[in-house]
Amino acid sequence: MNEIAILIIAHKNQTQLELLLSNLADDFDLYVHIDKTSAINKEELTAKYPNIRFYSKLHVVWGGYNLSACSLFLFQQAYKGNYKYYALISGQDLPLLSNEEIKNFIYKNDSSYIVSDKLPIKHWAYNGGINRYELYWEHDITGNSLWDTFRRKLIGNIRKIQLKYNTRRPFYKGMDVYGGSNWVLLRQDAMDYLISFIDENPRFMKRLKYCFCTDELWMQTILATSNCKIKNEHITHLDWGTGPEYPRTLRIEDYDNIRKKTCPFARKFDSEVDNEIIEKLLDSRNSSI
């Protein structure tokens, strides 16, 4: 039985996703959530990869609650397998190390990897991130009906009133809020703690609705003050500084810089933007096996 589960949140580029799956499937148990509105053919992938668990439960939009809910859903599904380690990545990630090297990295360090700092975070927008949860946001309303349009405008106006009169929403039970990357590696002790907390505090996730980008807040807040063995480090290399996208969609000119990184994974890649970097990284990775 594999001791490492890799959880993947995917929404586009089926061919690129299949490259990721085919490079990992032999050595890890994979749990893949495909966006409910995605053009990716879940039935085709299920037939092609019978040992991979595929789900298509939620529609995930940037900034909305469902990215947090999707992460938790995958954690809950994989937790049933009683693994020692759980890595959460996206369908636009690539492994930088061979599968054996990824395993060695995980076993040698024997720790959770969660980037987590107490808010306010100086370089974060929206009042150091505090406005993400103290104000109301409309990203969870994704429909195009007149009712949905009205609700979006209503919540936007409520936020303006909050800012004008400085009216804020307290966080769950007065907890200090921590934030960081949502792409993490959880050791079994951290996963036990996380799942237990959610089970014992069912209202916690509900508090995240009508907030903004809580995928970078929820598990970080729960685990930051635990006694679990955690390194405040990335398992996934990202470029937040170069642009033009944030994080940057990595291109062939980034190749040399990426190869210097020691993280097991890197993101984000898009075959529709630059497929050459994907092919070159995977060729380099597989040539070392």
Nearest CA among 95, 55, 93, 51 for reference residue 72: 55
State residue 243's pLDDT score. 87
What is the reported pLDDT for 1?
Answer: 74
Q: pTM here?
A: 0.95
Partners of residue 117 on adjacent β-strands: 179
Residue 285's pLDDT band (cuts 50, 70, 90): confident
pLDDT at 288 over 80: no
Q: Which DSSP helix (H) or strand (E) runs through 30?
A: strand 29-34
Per-state percent for the chain, helix, strand, coil, to nearest 5: 45, 15, 45
Whether the predicted pLDDT of 281 surpasses 90? yes
Token code pair at residue 178? 């921590």
d(CA 53, CA 26) in angstroms, rounded, equals 14
Whether 74 has a pLDDT exceeding 80, the answer reads yes
Residue among 239, 254, 196 nearest 72 (CA): 196
Mean pLDDT of the chain, nearest integer: 95
Cβ-proximal residues to 30 (8 Å cutoff; 6+ apart), any chain = 5, 6, 7, 8, 21, 24, 49, 52, 53
Strands 117-118 and 112-113: what pairing? Answer: unpaired
Which of the residue ranges 125-129, 237-241, 283-287 would you say has the lowest mean pLDDT?
A: 283-287
Q: Which pair of tokens denotes residue 271?
A: 């075959």
The CATH fold assigned to 4-120+179-287 is Spore Coat Polysaccharide Biosynthesis Protein SpsA; Chain A (3.90.550)
Q: Tell me the pLDDT tens digit for each residue of 197-235.
A: 999 999 999 999 999 999 999 999 999 999 999 999 999
**Cβ–Cβ under 8 Å, residues 230 and 223:** yes
Determine the residue type at 214: T
pLDDT, tens digit, for every residue of 249-270? 999 999 999 998 899 999 999 9
Q: Which residues of 162-186 are buried (b: 16+ CB within 10 A; e: fewer)?
A: beeeeeeeebbeeeebbbbbbbbbb
- Taking the CA atoms of residue 223, residue 224, residue 230 and residue 231 in that order, the dihedral angle to the nearest 10 degrees is 140
The DSSP call for residue 246 is S
Q: Is the pLDDT of residue 289 over 60?
A: no
Q: What is the pLDDT of residues 108-119, one digit of tens each?
A: 999 999 999 999
The full set of domain ranges for the chain reads: 4-120+179-287, 125-165
Q: Report the percent of the chain where pLDDT is more than 70.
A: 99
